[in-house]
């Protein structure tokens, strides 16, 4: 009986640790962009949505990925403000990407707001 009680206590004690370990290795779906508003129309370079094993709120990782994306796009003339956004599901990330594209593809007073450039890029492992 004592062994059974000890097993139950051990299992209950480990469950928060296992949940934390699973949360730490959960995938995020990331979109990186580089936006140059110094030109008319603005230029926006965007990565495809990609899966990355990291928590959604890891700002250090997102900044590192944004830097990698910026260096890649700079190789063919891109410049501007770098950004990466992580979302919990691919569907959310795909919708967010399309919303951003729609905003930059708009015309205001017959002038196109921005030029959207799809960039084939994935981060280094």
Kindly indicate the confidence band of residue 73, based on its pLDDT and cuts at 50, 70 and 90. very high
Q: Which tens digit of pLDDT belongs to each residue from 30-46?
A: 999 999 988 888 999 99
pTM given for the model: 0.76
Q: Which tens digit of pLDDT belongs to each residue from 10-22?
A: 444 444 443 444 4
Q: Residues 94-100: contacts with CB within 8 Å, 24+ apart?
A: 94/49, 96/31, 97/31, 97/46, 97/49, 100/31, 100/33, 100/44, 100/46
Sorted by where each begins, the domain ranges of the chain are 25-118
């Amino acid at each position: 009986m004592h062994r059974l009680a000890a097993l139950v206590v051990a299992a209950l004690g480990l469950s928060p640790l296992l949940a934390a370990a699973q949360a730490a290795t959960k995938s995020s779906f990331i979109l990186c962009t580089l936006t140059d508003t110094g030109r008319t129309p603005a230029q926006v370079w965007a990565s495809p949505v990609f899966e990355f094993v990291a928590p959604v709120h890891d700002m250090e990782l997102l900044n590192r990925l944004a830097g990698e994306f910026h260096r890649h796009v700079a190789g063919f003339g891109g410049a501007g403000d770098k950004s990466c956004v992580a979302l919990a599901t691919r569907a959310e990330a795909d919708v967010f990407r399309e919303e951003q594209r729609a905003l930059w593809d708009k015309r205001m007073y017959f002038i196109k707001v921005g030029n959207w450039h799809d960039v084939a890029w994935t981060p280094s492992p």
